[in-house]
Structure 1
Amino acid sequence: MASEYTTSEYIKHHLTNARMCTSDDGIVFNKACEDAGFWVWHVDTLGWSIGLGLLFLWLFRSVAKKATTGVPSKTQAFVELVVDFVNENVTSTFHGRSSLIAPLALTIFVWVLLMNLMDLVPVDVLPMIAGAIGEYGFGMDPHDVYMKAVPTTDLNLTFALAIGVFFLIIYYSLKMKGIGGFAKELTMQPFGHWAFIPVNFILETVTLLARPLSLALRLFGNLYASELIFILIATIGLFQLPLHFAWAVFHILVLPLQAFIFMMLTIVYLSLASEDH
């Protein structure tokens, strides 16, 4: 597939999302959405993220339904290992009381990990399949068919995850401290004198907003850079396989690490928000 494009066109094609938007002509796709403004749906990001989320729910639910107290299957043992791992981290890190945190942490870790693992699929496979479906199923030019299969390389998705965590931070802060306590936390720290209220408010607001911003940009930056390296390796052509597998082996360590960091920072932020002192 790389031979059909120049190197810059090939990279741009692989880094472009499949877009859908509405116009005067109804629902349009891809290039027709270039001037659509803000309301553009990245259908590949939505499709893969929702599909992998459903896969996570189906897998863990099916294992839970078939769980046995005897000798567990390999799948049950793996799921129990993941659940115990997440539970240990929640127990040691979250100092409040909430029945939501452990399931939330498990969901974040497994869902983000599954989305990250899509980075190990060779970069040409899914775009070629999408291009063939577009060409033979809908009569489209395959060059106009886009497919980004790694949802976490889309800044829209990482920000959506981070904003969800941010809303939970605000919710737990108000729930544990009340409106007055939360306001006092924003205005009377780190300097406990009324004269420093404007300075405190600016510092604490920046700190509060930096949490979702760092969550989103850290995950996006690491996965985007890794995906870009896979794409650059693919431009080599026939000699790409050794480099692809070498980078993939190293990448196997990076993908769970990024999911773990996102989960741990979420737990830490919610723990800080739940402290009532």
Structure 2
Amino acid sequence: MAYYETTQDYINHHLTNARMCSTDEGIVFNKACEDVGFWVWHIDTIGWSAFIGISFLFLFWRVGKKATTGVPTKTQAFVEMVVEFVDDSVKSSFHGSSKLIAPLALTIFVWVLLMNLTDLLPVDLFPWIAGMIGQYGFGMDPKDVYMKIVPTTDINTTFALSIGVFILIIFYSLKIKGIKGFTKELTMQPLNHWAFIPFNFVIETVTLLARPLSLSLRLFGNLYASELIFILIATIGYLQLPLHFAWSVFHILVLPLQAFIFMMLTIVYLSLACEEH
């Protein structure tokens, strides 16, 4: 905490994303983006999300390419276990017919899980590395260099994932039920009478829009709170090590659970979208 005048400065620094935006002066970064508004890129979120996703795809591709029918390696056994777990979850919860759902569920579960697990890394390590690069490589003040490595603590990530799921919900609803069936679902439920169409439409629209909203906010809220607690633990000095270890052990259970919930809700929502009745 040598760079920071107060504990609040330290916390704010660690909870701030590295930002990039375009202004009349050209491409600018971080504090210069504060007054830009909506069109700001969180480059650390984008970079770490892409790196984790590509690493996951490469690992599974390599394991699949080298898979054998004999005694599997530990990596192959782990990948097979994950695939079977997701496949069983899809078979038990998805009642439609689609070749997309199982790969989608696998991608969501593993990608979200890996992004969540970065929360267990030391909170000072990557901000310190980024600060050193900024200071000695570009002559910047380390306090003006930001680096958040947990993509799911950025609401832009969780909203992007949930919006993708929402688009698929609409797509499958229209594909399976047609425009007429989907419209009837929004207007004739829960009260099946023409006089209640306005009431039904409001209720069903709110329910439909609440699905991506709840998906994104649940994941973001849990991970943001978790990261904040890790940062608070880091401010207490020599006692942080045992507390950090205890909180990490607890989160070994919580972080996979959040990925599982996101995956299962995605499967359930898409299953509901594929039901013709």
Contact 1:2 1:10 in 2 (8 A): no
Which sits farther off after the overlay, 151-160 or 4-13? 4-13
Percent sequence identity over aligned pairs? 79
- Which residue of structure 1 aligns with residue 202 of structure 2? 202
The match for 2:253 is 253
RMSD, aligned CA: 0.8
User: Is the CA contact 2:19–2:42 (under 8 Å) kept in the aligned structure 1?
Assistant: yes
**SS state of the match for residue 28, structure 2?**
strand
Give the letter for the 2:51 counterpart. Answer: G
Given residue 203 of structure 1, which amino acid in structure 2 is its aligned partner? I
Q: With structure 1 as the length reference, what TM-score do the two structures score?
A: 0.99
Q: Tell me the CA shift for residue 276 of structure 1.
A: 1.0
SS in 2 for 1:239: helix
The CA distance in 1 between the partners of 2:225 and 2:142, in whole Å, is 26
Any idea what the Cα deviations from partners look like across 1:47-87, whole Å, max 9, x if unmatched?
A: 00010000110000000011000000000000000000000
Name the residue aligned to 2:147.
147
SS of 1:35 mapped into structure 2: coil
* Aligned counterpart, 1:70: 70
Structure 2 gaps of 5+ residues are: none
Residue pairs, 1:158-237, within 5 angstroms: 158-237=158-237
Residue 238 of structure 1 aligns to a residue in which SS? helix
Residue aligning to 1:271: 271
Query: Size of the alignment, in residue pairs?
Result: 277
Q: Which SS does the other structure have where 1:260 is aligned?
A: helix
State the distance in 2 between where 1:258 and 1:57 align: 20
Q: Letter of the 2:80 partner, please give it.
A: E
Per the alignment, residue 100 of structure 2 pairs with 100
- Give the equivalent residue in structure 1 for 2:41: 41
1:5: Cα distance to partner? 3.4
Unaligned runs of 5+ in 1: none
- Which residue does the alignment assign to 1:7? 7
Equivalence for 1:130: 130
Superposition deviation, residue 2 in structure 1: 5.7
Normalised to the residue count of structure 2, the TM-score between the two structures is: 0.99
Going from structure 1 to structure 2, the CA distance change for 1:2 and 1:236 (only over 3 Å counts) comes to farther
The runs of at least 4 consecutive aligned structure 1 residues that moved more than 3 Å come to 2-5
Question: SS of the counterpart of 1:22?
Answer: strand
Cα drift, residue 4 of structure 1:
3.3
| Residue number in structure 1 paired with 2:240 | 240
Residue of structure 2 in register with 1:117 after alignment: 117
For the residues of structure 2 that align with 1:24 and 1:209, how far apart are their CA atoms? 36
Cα displacement (A) at 1:237 = 1.5
Letter of the structure 2 residue corresponding to residue 239 of structure 1: L
CA distance in 2, matches of 1:133, 1:245: 28
d(CA) in 2 for partners of 1:9, 1:211: 36
Residues 227-258 of structure 1 deviation map (CA, whole Å, 9 limit, x = unaligned): 00000000012221110011000010000000
- Matched residue, 2:16: 16
